[in-house]
Chains A and B, each alone.
Chain A
Amino acid sequence: MTETRTTGAHGGAIGMHGIKKWFGNFQAVNDVSLEIRSNEFFTLLGPSGCGKTTLLRMIAGFELPTEGQVLLDGTDISRLLPNQRPVNTVFQNYALFPHLTVAENIGFGLKMLGKPKSEIDSVVGDMLKLVHLDGRGNNPVTQLSGGQQQRVALARALAPRPKVLLLDEPLSALDLKLRKSMQVELKRLQTETGITFVFVTHDQEEALTMSDRIAVMSTGTVRQIGSPWDIYDRPSERFVADFIGETNFLEADVVSVSGDKARVRLSSGAEISATYPEGVTPQGKVTIVIRPEHARLGPPGSGVLEGAIHTIVYLGTDNHFHVTIDDGKTFTVRQQNANSAPCGFSVGERISVAINDDVAQILRD
């Protein structure tokens, strides 16, 4: 591993306050406020058109907010030009300068800052090592593979030691295997450099793998901010639960609330305990979510939901059982294939679904 460049490692903190952005009659961002902490790997996650890229571009300076402020370490940078912000971007298509070599691309930012050649050369050397491209400095960037171009783009954005690195879906052009290894690589770079990373993606798995915290966005607003665990296991609303991973939605009635848990009655009449989002007082009819891997199949009468197996999907590592429960809804159970043996259930078989403790989450409605 290369020497860690921790000198003065201080990732900037970003504050976005009441950001609104209109493009003509279209509102791309609708009143977003969020805090990105120093040295954090922060992800903006959402489907295309949700405003995540617009937010990123407002941090970079390529777009100006119609309303609201962007703060970097407490200083308002909303109106600064991109070249006045100590923030660098890794572009989706890399945007490498085709007429320059690998080394010239990486050194571009420092050259524009008027750094002496000796300093540029030494930083470029360090960067080439950091992204495992030693000895490729004099290659034209156009002769590199997609994965190598990606790493040049990263090195180029990291070389001027920005306070914040912005990454605009940088992995979307890579094939699956390369994407996986780059995920690990990005996380390593972030830890090693201590720079705050703001990562934009529509890929929930990417977000869960790398992020310290995730902001889930849709239609120009932030739906939930939290750790990957929060987002996956404690989704606060239907959009978040649905967007991230597979989910079962069930109707239930609140029976009682005590502390941070509530007792809810399912359609079968069975009662389970469920958690609920902050600031919500669960009452009456609610929707709860249960992840497929948090439920188990058992013989009739052993669980909380009764039904029959509708389909079985074999996925190698696990099986997906689509169960038609007795109220007519479909419920998916995912069971790992821990033993190298058939799953032991057959289509049409009457079964019962058991739900693990403390896995159900009540949604804000």
Chain B
Amino acid sequence: MAKSFSIKRQPGFATIAMLCFFLLYLPIATLVVYSFNSGTSIATWEGFSLRWFESAWNNQQVMEASWRSLRIAAVAAVIATACATLAAIATTRTAPYRGLTFKYSIINMPLLVPEIVTAVALLILFSRIKVWTGYSGLGYLIVAHAAFCIPFAYMPIRARLESMDLSLERAASDLYASSFQTFRYVTLPLLWPGILAGLMLAFVISLDDVVITEFVKSGGQDTLPTYMLGQLRRVVTPEMNAISTAFLVLSLAIVTVFFFLSRNPNKNNE
């Protein structure tokens, strides 16, 4: 099959690919470069400096917003992944029945509903609850983030469950494992990479959210993205670039760590 079709041999393939990558990453590269600008402009290069990183680091509001973002993302991702794992098991480990497709749609609905609609709905609902209970903490943001993160966590977990050899679970039950033991000793260890991938996705999605957060947050509950959005309405300095660069590095670091964590030590168990 040496002569089989390969996209790589099509004329212009390399050029188009390079152009696409260039256009995709040019804005980000520019942003990163100007975060090291020593001047106050985000468009005129005046020399290399770390002053904007320093300024961001010493900016109390930035640090608070970042810390808040991380806390919300961590708790919401864990909740979303737990729900998604249960949902994935419930939808893959049963004989197909009428209504199963409907359940898939219900679980994945948040992907399709416009975020602004969810945001408005949550705003109205939460404001009622605030009036009734008087509670106005981070709980609302966490619940909202967990809710829209569930489908993102669900996808890799379900994919992993579907690709898993069912005879392994059958073998466990044949070897006297109760259904809980089968889950504990066979399904869960094999599902682990899928769960980590789901957790990572949920974390990054939550960290990145603007629309729902903007609607749901109470005063003084800015996350990093909503803080930055607020700043853009005022003077824009390379501090924004520095924050964005730091944010980018953090996301990449998280993705890398999860990638290595979720790599299976036994490579040929697929």
Q: Which A residues are within 8 Å of any B CB, using their own CB? A: 60-62, 81-83, 87-89, 91, 93, 95-99, 108-109, 111-113, 140, 142, 156-157, 160
Contacts and interface: CB of A to CB of B under 8 A. Distances in A.
Contacts of B267: 142
A57 to B, nearest CB: 9
Contact of B173 (A81, A91, A140): A81
The secondary-structure label for the interface of chain B is helix
B170 A95 contact: yes
B6 to A, nearest CB: 31
A88 B175 contact: yes
A83 to B, nearest CB: 5
B139 interface: no
Given A95-B165, A97-B186, A98-B190, A82 B174 contact: yes
Interface in B184-198: 185-186, 189-190
Nearest to B269: A98
Interface in B161-179: 165, 167-168, 170-178
Contacts of A83: 173-178
B176 A97 contact: no
B268 interface: yes
B262 to A, nearest CB: 13
A156 B186 CA distance: 15
Contacts of A95: 165, 167-168, 170-171
Contact of A109 (B175, B186, B269): B175
B181 interface: yes
A97 B174 contact: no
Contacts of B173: 61, 81-83
B4 interface: no
B189 A112 contact: no
A210 to B, nearest CB: 22
B266 A156 contact: no
A18 to B, nearest CB: 25
Nearest to A142: B266
A99 B189 contact: yes
A62 B190 contact: no
B176 A109 contact: yes
B177 A89 contact: no
Given A98-B190, A140-B266, A142-B268, A108 B172 contact: yes
A271 to B, nearest CB: 56
Contacts of A61: 173-174
Nearest to A168: B167
